[in-house]
Structure formats: structure tokens, C-alpha cells
Chains A and B, each alone.
Chain A
Amino acid sequence: MTAAITFTTVTCRYGRHTAVDAVDLDVAAGEHVALTGANGSGKTTLLRAALGLHPTAAGTVTVGGESARSGVEWARRRRDVAWVPQRLAPGRFPLLVDELLDSGGHPDAARAAARQLDVGGLGRRPLHTLSGGQLQRVFLARALGAVTAGARALFADEPTAALDFDGQEQVATLLAKLPVTVVVVSHDRAMTRACDRVAEMAAGKLRVI
């Protein structure tokens, strides 16, 4: 099952700086949209706002027609949307790959995906010992587990930035086959080609190409 995602005049600020400026974007259920744009144009902040990780100064984001305000609603939103972050905080304690895969909601599916993404044998490795590319593959595997567990959309923030060319193609093909709504921040041509639509952000504003 997929969910339409609607951004309505979403505005986000860092102090006085407006990172996302009244963005409107409708993503149909099952549609795959690539967000491109220069560094600092507000792409990551927009995705983070949709997950409740950055406060919105104005506007709303709905997933499957549902907005989120209370803690319970945000928890439901985060179950509804699988997430591949751009980068992780270093963490004071090691987190094992298996622990990360389990956290997506469907450990078996995540492990199966990890094996097919060539990171299946890293289960007992702490995340900080992985290369950037391995870490991205592990996060993708986790997100695929989350989709199997019932997530109806996927937000991926530069999921191929640390991958080699073959890896970029592999992940682009993989995401193109996903039967859920996808919003992916990417500068990778293979990825943007695999999407139904490309939207570009510049200085916090959005224009659809």
C-alpha cells in the first residue's frame, strides 16, 4: 500500500535563516520524485521536517492524507515512512549492523536485503567500522525492511553519495522497483533518471522540472 505525500507551504528556519521557504509539493501515491539542487538549498531540511526532526515554522506535511502534531501522530508518521539519512551522529557507544537492521521493523527482510546488497556478512560489525558505501547499503537494507514491515513511503537523503558507479546503478534500479512512494534527495543522474519526476530546490524554494 502506498501513500500520497503533500507538502503545503512548508517553511523551516534556522534562527533568522529561512532554509525552506513556503514549499508546495504533491507526490502521488506510488510516485517516485527526485529532489535536486545546490548544497544548502533546503532539500535535507524539507525531508527532516516531514519526519518531525526539524520544526516547521509554517505549513503542513501529510502522508496518506494524515498530518502529525502529537507524539502519537509523529510516531505513526515515522512508522509510515522509511528513512535513509544523509549521515549519522557518531554515537558514544557502538551500534551493531544487526541492531540497526532490526530497528527497521522487519529484521528478516532487512537481513535478506542486506545480503543482496553485499553487506549481509557484516552483522556483528559496529557501524563506525564500516566504509561510507557499506553504511549506505546497510541503511538501504534497513529501509527495505521497514517497507516490508508496512511503511508506505521512503525518504532517502543522498543514498548513493558514497557508492561506486555499479553501486549507484544497483541502488537506482532497486529503488525504481519499490512499490511505495519515494522522495529521494540526489545529485546522481542514474537515480534521477529512475524517478518519475525531478524537482529542484534553490535557496529554499522549489521548482518542478
Chain B
Amino acid sequence: MDGFLDLLSLPAVQRSAIGLLIAAVGLPIVGVFIIGLDIIAVRFAMMHVALLGIAVGLLAGLDPMLCGLAACALAGAGVAPLARRPTGLPGAMGLLMTFAIAAALLVLSVSGVNATGAFELLWGSILATREIDLIVLGALTVVVHVLFWRWRRQLALLLFDRELALCSGVAAGPLLLALLVVVAVAIGASIRLTGALLVDALTVLPALGARNLGRSLRSIVLWAVVLGVVGNTAGFAVALLIDQPPGPVLVLVAGTLTLLTYLIPEGARDAIDPGRRTDRGGDPVAAGQRVWQH
């Protein structure tokens, strides 16, 4: 235990713990968006798109990471029109991935930059978290929460059925565009901040577990954040206690939590639903009866 406390007193470990907590509050919501849009391959796609952006940045003498994030944002916006087709987005992620890696390798070859060096720029580690990384993670978390809580009703309709959303007055196109850009940039930045393996543990795994627990988009998001915080805290603590790399330990803990959610019976979900409340009841308003009672 003394060794655990000694580790926690190290500034790098403290920054990592803070980074994981911030990520646990924001990135699971990105995971909910990813599952809702059926784009689980987005992590692989954005990794390669970011690499293409880095390659272009190195070729043009610009900040490679900024170019990588810009490429992710452009790619997210670029695939938005494909969402009109029923299988458009999942297919687009595969296309994007193969297209981007080929283009990145070509650009790297033309620019004469070592591909491994470019990959290293992209590859982060939670133990190497810097203060600027915490600021970026914090900003991402704020953007994701604003997007969700400001437009949660519209998002619930959009993620359920695009046509229902359209016929309910939701600006489905712009909202989907915003969603894809935020997901793409969040994934691109997270890979740099936490490493590729951890991105799945911070995004998709809590969302998958939450889908087994929640009965509405709101309750799924709340459960995803709870699972994210519990998984990250427990995973990081276990990694420090057994003195092993946090990435794989965090993934295993988050994966175990997700697996456990599959054991909860359907009937028990009502009782644990954070959005649970009694039926609103009340008297029908006069306006509500006017249309069809006269």
C-alpha cells in the first residue's frame, strides 16, 4: 500500500489520474454517439485519417498534430452525407480507413518522412499526460456535454430514426454533421492523449455496458459516465497496485464491467434506471382535448 501511495504522490501519476477522470466524464458520451451511429470502426478510421493529416503537416511544414485533428474534422464532415443511406456510415468508415492509410503512406513517401516517426507523433500514453493534454481533454469533455445536454431530445430522435427526427422538426443534417465532427476530433485527440488501446476502453466499452442498463438515451448516457468513472478509477488503481501498465489493465477492468452488465436481467433495469419516475398523469389540458373531441 505504501508503494501505491508513493506512486500517487508522483506528479505524472496525478496528471494521469486527473486525465482519466476527465476522460471518464466526457468520452463515454462519444462512445454512445459511436454506437448510436453504428460506426465502431471510427477509431481505426480516424487513426489513419490523423496519420494522413500528420503526413500532410510534415510535408507542408505545419504543426502535424493540428493537421491531424483538422483531417479528422474534415473526414467526419465529409462522411455526413452518406448517413442518408441505411448502411452509409459503417461502410464509409471502412472506405475512409483504407483510403486514408494509402494516402498517408504515399504522402510520407513523397515527403521522405519516416513512417514510424509519424506514427510516434500519433501514439500517446496516459502516463505521459501533460498539462496541455488535460486542457484539451477538458475542452473536449465540455464540448461533448454541451452537444448532448443542449440537443438531447433531438439526438434521441435522430439516433432512433432519422426520418422520425426529420418529421419532428429536427435539423437532422446539421446535427449529424456536428455529431460526426465531434466524434472524429474526439477520437483523433484521444488517441494522441491516451493511446489507441485506451480509446476503446474510454468510449465504446462504457457505452456498450450502458446500453444494457438504460431505457432511454438520457439514462444510457448517465450509465455510460458512471461505468467510465468506475472503470477508470478501479482500473488505474489496480494497475498501480500490481505495478503493471495501465492501458491493458484499464481495458480488462472496463471489459469485465461491460460483461457484467449482460448478466443483469431485463426486469431489473426498471429499478436501476436513473430516469425512472412515476407517470406524469394529471388532467388533460383543454388544448389537448380540443382537436378531436368536438
Residues of A whose CB lies within 8 Å of any CB of B are 51-53, 71, 74-75, 78-79, 83, 85, 88-89, 91-96, 98-100, 102-106, 108-113, 115-116, 120-121, 123-124, 126-127, 144-145, 147-148, 174, 177-179
Contacts and interface: CB of A to CB of B under 8 A. Distances in A.
Contacts of A83: 167
Contacts of A179: 291, 294
Given A93-B159, A148-B287, A103 B164 contact: yes
Interface of B: 32, 35-36, 38, 153, 156-157, 159-164, 166-169, 171, 173, 211, 214-217, 220, 275-277, 279-280, 284-285, 287-292, 294
B163 A96 contact: no
Nearest to B273: A124
A89 B165 CA distance: 12
A92 B36 contact: yes
Contact of A108 (B38, B167, B279, B284): B284
Contacts, number: 129
Nearest to A92: B36
The prevalent SS among residues of B at the interface is: helix
A35 B256 CA distance: 54
Contacts of B280: 98, 111, 123
A185 B109 CA distance: 60
A102 B153 CA distance: 9
Contact of B166 (A53, A92, A94, A116): A53
A144 B291 contact: yes
B280 to A, nearest CB: 6
Contacts of B173: 71
